[in-house]
Structure 1
Amino acid sequence: MLPKDKDPTANLCSSNMTTALALLGFAFVAIVCISFAGKYHNNHVSVPPKLKTFDEIRLSIGDHLIKSVNGTKIRQNLRAITPEPHVAGTAANARVADTISRIWKANGLENVHFVEYDVLLSYPDYDAPNHVSVIDRAGKTVFKSNGTSPVIIPSEQSAPGAGVQWVAYAAAGTVQGEPVYAHYGRQQDFERLEKLGISVKGRVAIIRYGFCFRGDKVAFAQKAGAIAVVLFSDPAEVAKNGTDFSQLYPNSEWLPSGGVQRGSVMNGDGDPLTPLVPSKADVYPTRTIDEAYAQHVLPKIPVLPISYGDAYEVISRLNGRPVPLDWQGGLNFTYRLGPGFKDAGTSIKVEVRSTLKKRHIRNVVGYIKGAVEPDQYVILGNHYDAWVYGAMDPNSGTATLAEVGRALVQTMKDTHWRPARTIMFCNWDAEEFGLVGSTEFLEEFEKQLTDRAVVYLNVDTIHSNLSFEANTIPSLFQVVVDTAKRIPNPMKSEIKRARKTVYDTWVRAFPGNKTPSYPDFPDMPVPGGGSDQSGFLNFLGIPVVDFLYRNTSWSEYPLYHSMYETPFVSEHIFDTNDFAVHKAVGQFWAELARKFADQPIIPINISILADQLLNNYVHDLKVAIEPLKHRYPEAEDARVQLSHLIKHCQHFVHRARQVESEITALKQRNHDFLNPDQRISQLSRRLMKVERCFINPRGQPGSPTKRHLLYSTSDKDCYSSTVMSSVYDSVYDLVNAKTTKDKVAAGRDLASAISLVQLGVQCAVKTFDAAI
């Protein structure tokens, strides 16, 4: 382990190229090794007839790696990590970190160590659960929630405090008032209530989960004047086959009536007291707790999640008109809006016990050092902290990541192969509270990662067996699709339908509709927030892939953040064939990492990026801006700037095609060995830098961590992503401006936002020029 005050990545720069590569005992291995060393040693190698090219050798290594991933070992890892609840900042979570460290070291990862921070976290009173009550006019309690979820499988769910229902960073306190049903609690839902003449000011908002990050729901409710928020999971989303016990967990994946979704309601990523700087003991905090409240990073009102069994007792009593048809949920009665209850004088009481505490967290980091380019990092990441047991979110990914490391090391031992670039393994702490561990890491090592990181590959959770899904950016579309085509389909039912690979099911479940030039691509959304890939892309401009297995009709899963996420679900409900789905995710993860770590030219396709930028992003922007000319003369500068952007995007398309042609020619000319010409290394380094061209160091107005000019998380829902949000925000501001002065200012902001994107495009083109 390195000293705590040292850069944990720094020692990679001093690693020497492995001399044993030239001493291997059989021809297959010698060819592979010399392929990496050829950059420095001009050796020509005769290739045996069975393997005619180095591409074939690399695919053979990949085949070995894919076969080395073992579902049984993933299952064993999962059991080792999830015996007890392990919320970030607790002794139990520290024990999980120690377990991960031991597994990684036993698997052969190098320099396994902790990177530590002290951060502000939030906890309930585990000995005195929170409650929602219905109080009649005489002060008698008509109904009171239990405050805990019932144990269903005692052998897995009996730890003290496991069932306590709470959300992190909710304000402590007891409030009492009239309830109002606010549907999903989105901004448009509160606007609709206002149009219906119903205010939540001074009242308790009853909000169902779904379609929006819970922290955004609370922020919108607080802004509308609510004095508290009660959250619940509606059967329409989490018990679609009905609420009869035979249709629910443990007989299926659907949430039982006492289940509750936990989570964080903080708005923002990282330690709330140290935005933009790492939360180290010797670093001065950049924000106070009072400022965090004033800036709406932390809510000022109590917030409590309840089960749909308890929600029945509250919502069934509501007064007022019936909800709009599209607001009706899955409980067996007509939902009403309120305000108040049918029995006059009856009120709702919300009691929340919550404390803020400074706690120690630890990211776990380890390596497989590269043989040729040790200072270029292919980073694999997942978080390990959980709200309760976390056997799906996140430890399905944690268990799989450990097996990916073991399979890579096993492949190295079996073939004497070593990747050309360094593969870096990261298990993040305190992700559930707001991407805290990864954000602090990015803030501490911003300069090193900007220079060295090739790609970040993230898995948060594996929670279904229906289809693979990857969220990524256009420059990685091709390598993601090609890799999915190499992974055997884990589902026997799909194989019987002639869908032999992960790709075959994926492209059918999520057909692409935004890449007409590439009809064989599935839909690959831009990654949003909600997991650790967010900062890598939006803050540093590092290309990312966030992938999982999921159901096809709902982005979340019914048992999400509940106490019922234990190994039973994977072993007996959705991954019963020796963890075949977990194994498939691990195979994809390992093989994709190998491609980035081992291809002479990094598989980043800027031609697809340029095509998407011109024919998708800018095309849509033109459609949005063109009508403004008839009503808003203040948009004229923006229209002129858009014409400049289109011209530069067209140039980017042309230049990108030239670069791709050169890459193709280099591959064809050097299919037998690595060309010692430095052009290959030069092209790879420049491909790494393209995404960084779209990073604006100043960030978006009011959001300094949102620095990517093309991609960011939505202000309306931080789970989802937006494209060119600064530009579209300025369009919105112009259309909604009330005064001439505001219209002029919005028009200038719009032209400026378009100009910044244009500068990013010009930077991408110039990245490949011979001289400045």
Structure 2
Amino acid sequence: MSQFPFFSFIMLSFLFFFKSQFGGEPLSYTRFSLARQVDGDNSHVEMKLAADEEENVDSNMRGNQTSIAKPKRLNGYVCYGIIAVIVFFLIGFMIGYLGYCRRVESQDCGKEAGTQPSCPEETETFESEEQLPGVPRIFWADLKSTLSGKLDAVDFARAIKMLNENSYVPREAGSEKDTSLAFFIENQLQDCKLSKVWHDEHFIKIQVKGSSQNSVSIVSTSGNGSQAYPVESPEGYVAYSKAATVTGKLVHANFGTKQDFEDLNMPVNGSLVIVRAGKISFAEKVANAESLNAIGVLIYMDYSKYPIVNANLPVFGHAHLGTGDPYTPGFPSFNHTQFPPSQSSGLPNIPVQTITRAGAEKLFQNMEGDCPRIWGTDSSCKLVSSQDKNVKLSVNNVLKEIRILNVFGVIKGFEEPDRYVIVGAQRDAWGPGAAKSSVGTSLLLTLARILSDMVLKGQFKPSRSIVFASWSGGDFGAVGATEWLEGYLSSLHLKAFTYINLDKAVVGTTNFKVSASPLLYSLIEKIMKDVKHPLNGLSLYRDSNWISKVQKLSLDNAAFPFLAYSGIPAVSFCFCEDTDYPYLGTPMDTYETLNREVPQLNRVARAAAEVAGQLVIKLTHGVELNLNYEMYNDEILRFVKEMNLFRADIRDMGLNMQWLYSARGDFFRATSRLTTDYKNAEKTDRSVMREINDRIMKVEYHLLSPYVSPRESPFRHIFWGSGSHTLSALLEHLKLRKKNNGAFNQTLLENQLALATWTIQGA
């Protein structure tokens, strides 16, 4: 708009020039002023006045056809003609200029979607295309439509079924069938014509059942001596259990959470503990029991939570309170790499074993005391073993070194190939693994094929790279993924900006659940509004308060080490029910079971692929990085509010909250400066935008505590990690001051508060 006065000046200069040269009088333009130019109606005024002049000229010429024109009038006609040409030229120029301005304004609105209200999707474009001459702009609506159309043509159910054929089942990590499937996936990625396809190998230690059977038996101490009665020799087992034999009283501790043990009001030291599967991981159950000096743990699936008809169904899991190879903590398990002998502090020092529901019911027959009704478990459940009955647990698992393969494929970005989003899925499984690994693997291969096809056809030009990863060792605690992270720990957080986990993405139909870094909340919400539920056709976005229901990434989720160990924003999602999918980690995790439990499996898998595909495109295509770092302001504020509940206790200890308030203020000001820099940046300047995006990438990483050892406390994230350095541990410790003052340590609390404050201030 500011160009209009300049155009007016040019036009007036032309008029005065022609008047002086030809003696013509610009009668129609004497009313044209700069003030009227600003109104924005002048193009119409100019067109009308120019047309009037042409009519006057034509009538004069018709009225004087037989006369000879005077030279002066001829000069005037020439003047008017030239003026008309100039006017039409300027009108066309201004119309084109206004159209260009509107397109640029629309584009800028779309680019700032992370910090400003977004424009309608029909006008949203991606700035990266502006740098490529001869390439048409790519609209977000077009990308969505193209992705959706290609997904419609995929038979996901057939792909899942193929991955569960006998040639690939069972595929325990490092087995021949796991390796065979790895090479199949590598060939499939090569057929997709990706920029590069390769595999890494790692040599890791896992635990398998030994030659001697694990066993559970009841020992009767009545009469003159003790006598053992076998309960079962389970087919399932718990990897990384301590190999040992223990005997003692058996106590039921519900799910084995910390709260369950507190509510039990019964000592468990010197006793075995039996717990239900669910709520928390096997490893956390074992750690909680061991912390209270229990001597062993039994885990079973009750019918109330897992309504499986087969009461003799075996269960598999692992007890490592961590991820990766527990015998090379903090180091990558590459071949021939020598490390000093060490093992993870997360390995249990007590034996652990899964038992069937039938086995648990046999034990309950030799126990007494009904389980609390509030537990909502089976009626057969009992609390403690009878006076003259003990339980004997024998675990004989052995270590085994195996080779596992991680398979990778990459679509290189056109502008920043050294910045990438990672899309990953577990490949191995104890048992068939249809829901556990086949669904994720089929989604991975489908997305690789579709996105590569879009790139090859010029329908999609990602600025950043896309890495597709097939991990092995997932059933033993995300071993493959963690070993890769450990191998490239020093550089990954500088290059990888998001991990998208596809594991267990389809285990139901009713709900769409998300676990993610707050940096991804805004982007996830936009995609939830775009993607329709596969069965009812409504948007996945149903609740404006959905963020409050986001679940923390669990220890047994492959996305967890990316976020808590490496400081890389991560997301995991699933279509699921209110209850857990009961067949994971069992021989019943088959395609037939999944197809029966998930109606319209093909449509649900397609919706999961659409969510992941839109995430990938949004994160890699535009100039701006779709990570909303301002969401951590809310997380820090929430923590400060919780701390304020203990303000009196903190004051009684001679401490104050001022430093924490200051740290929160510093973080808020830092995010505000970053937002201001982003808004003021020239979006077409790649170097400037790269610098800003790199600052955004580092927000998550800077929330890893620099004050603890990555080896001793690998999950250093103060919000989502585990250990005394986390904010949740600080709050739990504060609560001890009122609950159990004898267990409270003021010196430890002072250190926790100081380190948390410094981490927030330095983020």
- State the TM-score, normalizing by the size of structure 2: 0.76
Aligned counterpart for 2:193 among listed residues 108, 111, 116: 108
Deviation at 1:378, TM superposition (A): 1.1
What is the match of residue 318 of structure 2?
Answer: 264
Q: CA deviation at 1:328?
A: 5.6
User: Which residue identity does 1:751 align to in structure 2?
Assistant: A
Structure 2 residue runs without a partner (length 5+):
1-122
Cα offset, 1:740, TM superposition: 13
2:608 maps to 585
- From the superposition, tell whether residues 581 and 129 of structure 1 become closer, same or farther in structure 2 (CA, over 3 Å): farther
Question: How far apart, in 2, do the equivalents of 1:707 and 1:96 lie?
Answer: 34
Q: What is the 5 A alignment of 1:352-391?
A: 352-391=395-434
Measure how far apart 1:738 and its partner are: 6.1
Per the alignment, do residues 37 and 326 of structure 1 end up closer, same or farther by CA in structure 2, a change over 3 Å counting?
A: closer
Count residues in correspondence: 634
Change (3 A) 1:225 1:340: farther
Correspondence list, 1:186-225, <5 A: 186-193=257-264, 195-196=265-266, 199-225=267-293
SS of corresponding position for 1:121: strand
Deviation at 1:363, TM superposition (A): 0.9
Q: Within 2, Cα distance between the matches of 1:188 and 1:475?
A: 30
- The CA deviation at 1:578 is 5.4
Distance in 1 (CA, whole Å) between partners of 2:595 and 2:640 is 47
1:434 matched to 2:477? The reply is: yes
CA distance in structure 2 between the partners assigned to 1:541 and 1:609 by the alignment: 14
Query: What SS does structure 2 have at the residue aligned with 1:541?
Result: coil
**Separation (CA, whole Å) in 2 of partners of 1:452 and 1:524:** 26
Residue 717 of structure 2, aligned match among 705, 708, 711:
708
What is the distance in 1 between the residues matched to 2:617 and 2:258? 43
Q: What is the letter of the counterpart of residue 107 of structure 1?
A: C
Cα contact 1:114–1:363 (8 A) shared by 2: yes
Q: Distance in 1 between matches of 2:188 and 2:640?
A: 47
SS, match of residue 337 in structure 1: strand
**Secondary structure at 1:587 match in 2:** helix
Q: 2:665 aligns with which of 647, 651, 670?
A: 647
Is the contact made by 2:674 and 2:692 (CA closer than 8 Å) also made in structure 1? no
Q: CA–CA distance in 2 between the matches of 1:80 and 1:427? A: 17
CA deviation profile, 1:214-249 (whole Å, cap 9, x unmatched): 11222333343333322111122112xxxxxxxxxx
Output the CA distance in 1 between the equivalents of 2:754 and 2:250: 45
- Contact persistence 2:128–2:622 (CA under 8 A): no
Distance 1:549 1:71 in 2: 21
Within a 5 Å distance, the mapping from 1:513-524 to structure 2 comes to 514=548, 523-524=549-550
> Residue 351 of structure 1 aligns to which amino acid in structure 2?
S
Deviation at 1:453, TM superposition (A): 0.9
Helix, strand or coil at the partner of 1:560: coil
Give the equivalent residue in structure 1 for 2:727. Answer: 724
1:602 corresponding residue in structure 2: 625
SS across alignment from 1:275: coil
Aligned match of 1:14: none
**Structure with larger RCO (C-alpha < 8 A, sep 6+):** 1
Which range moves more in the overlay, 435-444 or 410-419? Answer: 410-419
Using the TM superposition, give the Cα deviation of residue 329 of structure 1 relative to its aligned residue in structure 2, in angstroms: 1.8
Counterpart Cα distance in 2 of 1:702 and 1:745: 20
Secondary structure, aligned partner of 2:367: coil
Residue of structure 2 equivalent to 1:4? none
Structure 2 counterpart of 1:300, from 334, 345, 349: 349
Alignment of 1:512-551 (within 5 A): 512=546, 514=548, 523-551=549-577
How big is the shift at 1:604? 1.4
Please state if 1:228 is matched with 2:296: yes
Q: Which digits, 9 at most, give the CA deviation of each residue in 1:631-664, with x for residues without a partner? A: 322x23xx1212312332442454355356447x
1:10-409 to structure 2, matched below 5 A, reads 36=128, 38-39=130-131, 43=133, 54=137, 57-69=139-151, 72-82=154-164, 83=166, 84-125=169-210, 129-136=213-220, 144-145=231-232, 147=234, 164-193=235-264, 195-196=265-266, 199-239=267-307, 254=308, 256-288=310-342, 292=344, 295=345, 297-319=346-368, 321-327=369-375, 329-330=377-378, 332-333=379-380, 335-340=381-386, 344=388, 346-409=389-452
The structure number with the bigger radius of gyration is 2
Q: Distance between the aligned counterparts of 1:726 and 1:176, measured in 2?
A: 33
Which of 373-382 and 110-119 deviates more?
A: 110-119
Judge conservation of contact 1:71–1:580 (CA < 8 Å) in 2.
no
Q: Which of 466, 469, 477 is the matching residue for 2:521? A: 477
Structure 2 equivalent of residue 249 of structure 1? none
Residue by residue, what CA displacement relative to the aligned partner does 1:332-355 show, whole Å, maximum 9, x if unpaired?
33x3322336xx4x4433333311
Aligned residue identity for 1:627: A
Is 1:675 the counterpart of 2:684? The answer is yes
How many Å separate the matches in 2 of 1:739 and 1:338? 28
Q: How does 1:682-761 map to 2 (within 5 A)?
A: 682-699=691-708, 703-713=712-722, 724-725=727-728, 727-728=730-731, 731=734, 742-744=745-747, 746-760=749-763
CA distance in 1, matches of 2:288, 2:618: 44
SS of 2:500's partner is: strand
CA distance in 2, matches of 1:34, 1:629: 51
* Mapping of residues 416-565 of structure 1, within 5 Å: 416-461=459-504, 462-491=506-535, 494-495=536-537, 499=538, 501-504=539-542, 507=543, 511-512=545-546, 514=548, 523-551=549-577, 553-554=578-579, 556-565=580-589
Deviations 1:425-463 (A, max 9, x none): 111111221221111111111123122112111121021
How far apart, CA to CA, are the structure 1 residues paired with 2:186 and 2:671?
46
Which AA in structure 2 matches 1:133?
S
Aligned-pair CA distance for 1:701: 9.4
Alpha-carbon distance between aligned partners in 2 of 1:605 and 1:711, rounded to the nearest angstrom: 17
Distance 1:35 1:427, change over 3 A: same
Do 2:408 and 2:470's aligned partners in 1 also have CA atoms closer than 8 Å? yes
With over 3 angstroms needed to count, the CA separation of the structure-2 counterparts of 1:185 and 1:642, relative to structure 1, is same
Q: Encode CA deviations 1:355-411: one digit per residue, 9 max, x unaligned.
A: 111111111111111112111111111111112111011221111111111111222
Amino acid at match of 1:261: V
Q: Which residue in 1 is equivalent to 2:641? A: 619
CA RMSD of aligned residues (A): 3.2
> 1:339 is aligned with what amino acid?
S
Q: Select the structure that is richer in helix.
A: 2
Preserved contact between residue 231 and residue 363 of structure 2 (Cα < 8 Å): no
The 1:379/1:427 distance shift into structure 2, 3 A limit, reads: same
Deviation at 1:35, TM superposition (A): 5.9
Q: Secondary structure at the match of 2:450?
A: helix
Residues 208 and 234, structure 1, Cα contact 8 Å, conserved in 2: yes
Residues 476 and 604 in structure 1, CA contact (< 8 A), matched pair in contact too: yes
Q: Which amino acid aligns with 2:371?
A: V
CA contact (8 A) 2:205 2:327 kept: yes
Measure, in 2, the Cα distance between the counterparts of 1:745 and 1:232: 37
* Paired letter, 2:361: Y
Deviation (angstroms), 1:146: 5.8
Instruction: Provide the secondary structure at the position in 2 that maps to 1:564.
Output: coil
Segments of structure 1 that go 5 or more residues without pairing to the other structure are: 1-30, 48-53, 148-163, 240-253, 515-522, 667-673, 716-721, 761-772
CA contact (8 A) 1:77 1:399 kept: yes
Q: 1:734 to 1:177 in 2, by over 3 A?
A: closer
Letter of the 1:512 partner, please give it: W
Q: Distance in 2 between matches of 1:677 and 1:283?
A: 40
- The answer to whether the 8 Å contact 1:206/1:230 transfers is yes
Identity value in percent = 23
CA contact (8 A) 2:429 2:437 kept: yes
* Contact 2:519–2:631 under 8 Å retained in 1: yes
Distance 2:558 2:472 in 1: 10
